[in-house]
C-alpha cells in the first residue's frame, strides 16, 4: 500500500515537472524572433513615418526623437511580451476609427452612436471603469471557482484597451477644440488617474502571464477599483473630464517624458503593495488569533481612510460610504484568509514579484525625478527648490531606495518587507494626492 502511494506521489511530481517544462518550452518558443515581429516593426515604422510627414510642423525635434525612439521600444517590449502587440494593435485600430468618425467635428461626440456610447474619450474611460470593477469581482470569484478566473483577465484586458482609447481620443479632441489647445493627456488629475489605472493593470497582467497565476488579480484590482472610484467621483461631481488649456509651465515636451515615467513608478509601487497584502494574508492564513494581524489592520485602515481627506472638499457622505464598504471588504478578506491563502502562490513567488515591481518602479521614478529637475530648470530657472511636491518625491525615493538596499545587501525578505511595501503605498499616496490637497506649491496643478 505504501509503495503504491509513493509511486502515485512520484508520478504526480513527474507530471508537474513535465507540465512546467512544457510551459518553459512554450515561453521560449514564443520569445523567438519571427516574421510577425518584422511585420509588427514595419507597421509601427510606417505609422511613425506617416505622423512625421503629416504633422511635421506640429512637432519639434525632441518630439520627433521621442516618436521614433518609442517605436523601437514598443517593438522590443512587444517581442518580450507578445500579448502587448494585440493590445496595441486593437487600441490603435479603434482609436483611428474614432478619430475618423469625428472627421474634424467635435460635436459628433453627441450625435454619432459609436462615439456617444463607446469611443469618445469620456465614454471609453467610463467603459474602462466598469470593466475594471467587473474584473475585480471576477478575480475574487475565480478564487471560489477556477473556471471563472479567466473572466478577470478578460475584463482587465478589455478595460486597458478602452482606457487607452480614451486617452488617445482625448488627445485628438483637445486639438479639435482649438489647435493650440492640443496636448498629450497627462496634464491633470483626471488624465493621470486613467494613466495610473492602465499602468498598474498592464504590469499586473504581465506578471500574471509570466508566473501563470491569477490568484493575485483580486488583490491588485482592489487598488485599481479604489482609483476608479475616485475617478468617477472626480468626473461627475467635479466635472473633471472637461479639457482645459495648458498653463505655460506645463506646455513643455518635458511633460511627455516626466509624467509617464512617474506613473510607471506609482503603478508598480501600488502593485507591489497589494502583493505584499497578499503575502500577509497567506502568512496569517493558518492563524486563529487576531493579534498578529493588528499591524495589518492599522496599515489597511490608513489606506482605506485616506480618501476621507476629500471630505474637506465636500461630499462627506460619499467618502463615508466608500470607507465603510472598504472596511467590510478588508474584513471579509481577513475572515476568509485561510481559504484565500490556499489559492495564493508560494512565498518565494510573492516576494519575487514585490522585488521586481519595486525595482522597476524605483528605476522609472528615479528617471522621472531627474527629468523633473531638468524641466524645473527649464521652467523656473533652478533644478530643485524643496517645493512640497519635490520634498515628498524625495521621501518616496528614499523609502524605496532603503527597501531595495536591505533586500539586496542584507537579504531581507518576508513579513517585514511586505509591511514595508504596504506602508510605502501610504507614503506614495500622500505624495501623489495629499500634497496637492494640504500643501501649496509650484506643483499645484491637480487641486481638487
DSSP class per residue in 375-413: HHHHHHS-S----HHHHHHHHHHHHHHHHHHHHHHS---
Taking 60 as the threshold, does the pLDDT of residue 6 lie above it?
Answer: no
**End-to-end CA separation in angstroms for the chain:** 70
Please give the residue that has the higher pLDDT: either 14 or 141: 141
Q: How far apart are CA 326 and CA 359, in angstroms?
A: 29
Is the confidence at residue 233, as pLDDT, over 70? yes
What pLDDT is stored for residue 193 in this prediction? Answer: 93
Residues near 298 by beta carbon (within 8 Å), at least 6 away in sequence: none
Confidence at residue 94, expressed as pLDDT on a 0 to 100 scale:
95
- Lowest-confidence pick of 237-241, 291-295, 361-365: 291-295
Residue 26 pLDDT class (50, 70, 90 cuts):
very low
- 82-96, 272-286, 317-331: least confident range: 317-331
Domain range annotation of the chain:
247-447
Name the range with the highest mean pLDDT among 66-75, 175-184, 393-402.
Answer: 393-402
**pLDDT for 247:** 77
Q: Is the pLDDT of residue 9 over 50?
A: no
pLDDT: is 370 or 306 the higher one?
A: 370
Q: How far is CA 24 from CA 32, 212, 216, 347, 356, in A?
A: 13, 11, 21, 21, 20
- pLDDT over 80 (residue 324): no
pLDDT at 362 over 90: yes
The answer to whether the beta carbons of residues 159 and 132 sit under 8 Å apart is yes
In the predicted structure, residue 232 carries a pLDDT above the cut 70: yes
Comparison of pLDDT for 188 and 136, the residue scoring more: 136
Identify the weakest region by mean pLDDT among 1-15, 108-122, 213-227, 308-322.
1-15
Q: Is the Cβ–Cβ distance between 413 and 351 less than 8 Å?
A: yes
What pLDDT shows up at residue 331? 81
SS3 of residue 105 by DSSP: coil
**What confidence tier does 31 reach under pLDDT thresholds 50, 70, 90?**
low
pLDDT confidence band for 298 (50 / 70 / 90): low
pLDDT value at residue 61: 79
Average pLDDT of span 12-40 = 54
Q: Rounded to 5 degrees, what angle do the CA atoms 425, 241, 321 make?
A: 50
Euclidean distance between CA atoms 124 and 117, whole angstroms? 8
Determine what percent of the chain is predicted with pLDDT higher than 70: 82
Residue 108 in grid coordinates: 459628433
Under a CB-based contact definition with an 8 Å cutoff, are residues 263 and 189 in contact?
Answer: no
Residue 394 has pLDDT above 60, yes or no: yes
- Number of other CB atoms surrounding residue 345 within 10 Å: 18
Q: Does residue 179 have a pLDDT over 50?
A: yes
Residue 314 has pLDDT above 70, yes or no: no
Q: For the packed helices 347-380 and 388-409, what is the interaxial angle rounded to 10 degrees?
A: 150
What is the chain's mean pLDDT, rounded?
83
d(CA 421, CA 433): 18
Question: For the ranges 11-25, 74-88, 170-184, 432-446, which has the lowest average pLDDT?
Answer: 11-25
pLDDT of residue 308: 55
The C-alpha cell 500577509 sits at 280
Residue 268 predicted with pLDDT over 50: yes
Averaged pLDDT for residues 38-43: 86
What does the pLDDT average to over 230-248? 83
Band the pLDDT of 38: cuts 50, 70, 90. Answer: confident
104: left (phi over 0), alpha (psi -120 to 50) or beta: left
Amino acid at each position: 500500500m505504501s509503495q503504491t502511494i509513493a509511486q502515485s506521489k512520484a508520478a504526480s511530481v513527474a507530471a508537474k515537472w513535465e507540465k512546467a517544462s512544457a510551459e518553459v518550452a512554450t515561453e521560449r518558443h514564443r520569445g523567438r524572433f519571427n516574421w510577425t515581429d518584422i511585420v509588427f516593426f514595419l507597421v509601427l515604422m510606417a505609422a511613425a513615418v506617416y505622423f512625421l510627414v503629416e504633422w511635421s510642423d506640429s512637432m519639434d525635434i525632441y518630439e520627433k526623437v521621442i516618436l521614433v525612439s518609442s517605436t523601437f521600444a514598443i517593438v522590443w517590449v512587444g517581442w518580450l511580451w507578445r500579448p502587448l502587440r494585440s493590445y496595441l494593435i486593437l487600441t490603435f485600430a479603434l482609436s483611428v476609427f474614432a478619430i475618423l468618425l469625428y472627421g474634424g467635428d467635435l460635436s459628433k461626440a453627441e450625435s454619432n452612436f459609436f462615439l456617444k456610447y463607446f469611443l469618445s474619450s469620456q465614454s471609453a474611460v467610463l467603459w474602462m471603469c466598469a470593466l475594471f470593477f467587473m474584473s475585480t469581482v471576477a478575480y475574487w470569484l475565480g478564487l471560489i471557482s477556477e473556471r471563472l478566473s479567466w473572466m478577470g483577465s478578460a475584463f482587465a484586458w478589455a478595460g486597458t484597451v478602452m482606457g487607452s482609447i480614451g486617452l488617445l481620443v482625448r488627445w485628438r479632441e483637445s486639438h479639435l477644440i482649438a489647435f493650440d489647445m492640443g496636448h498629450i493627456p497627462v496634464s491633470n488629475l483626471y488624465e493621470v488617474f486613467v494613466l495610473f489605472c492602465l499602468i498598474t493593470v498592464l504590469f499586473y497582467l504581465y506578471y500574471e502571464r509570466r508566473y501563470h497565476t491569477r490568484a493575485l488579480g483580486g488583490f491588485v484590482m482592489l487598488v485599481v477599483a479604489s482609483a476608479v472610484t475616485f475617478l468617477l467621483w472626480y468626473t461627475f461631481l467635479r466635472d473633471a473630464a472637461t479639457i482645459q488649456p495648458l498653463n505655460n509651465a506645463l506646455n513643455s515636451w518635458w511633460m511627455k517624458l516626466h509624467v509617464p515615467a512617474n506613473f510607471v513608478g506609482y503603478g508598480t509601487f501600488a502593485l507591489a503593495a497589494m502583493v505584499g497584502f497578499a503575502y500577509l494574508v497567506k502568512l496569517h492564513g493558518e492563524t486563529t488569533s487576531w493579534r498578529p494581524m493588528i499591524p495589518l489592520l492599522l496599515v489597511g485602515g490608513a489606506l482605506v481612510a485616506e480618501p476621507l481627506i476629500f471630505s474637506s472638499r465636500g461630499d462627506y457622505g460619499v467618502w463615508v460610504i466608500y470607507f465603510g464598504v472598504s472596511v467590510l471588504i478588508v474584513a471579509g478578506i481577513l475572515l476568509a484568509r485561510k481559504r484565500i491563502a490556499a489559492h495564493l502562490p508560494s512565498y518565494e513567488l510573492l516576494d519575487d514579484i514585490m522585488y521586481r515591481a519595486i525595482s522597476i518602479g524605483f528605476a522609472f521614478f528615479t528617471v522621472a525625478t531627474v527629468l523633473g529637475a531638468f524641466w524645473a530648470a527649464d521652467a523656473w530657472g533652478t533644478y530643485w527648490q524643496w517645493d512640497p511636491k519635490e520634498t515628498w518625491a524625495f521621501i518616496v525615493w528614499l523609502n524605496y531606495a532603503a527597501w531595495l538596499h536591505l533586500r539586496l545587501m542584507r537579504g531581507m525578505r518576508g513579513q517585514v518587507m511586505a509591511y514595508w511595501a504596504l506602508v510605502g503605498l501610504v507614503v506614495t499616496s500622500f505624495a501623489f494626492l495629499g500634497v496637492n490637497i494640504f500643501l501649496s506649491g509650484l506643483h499645484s496643478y491637480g487641486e481638487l
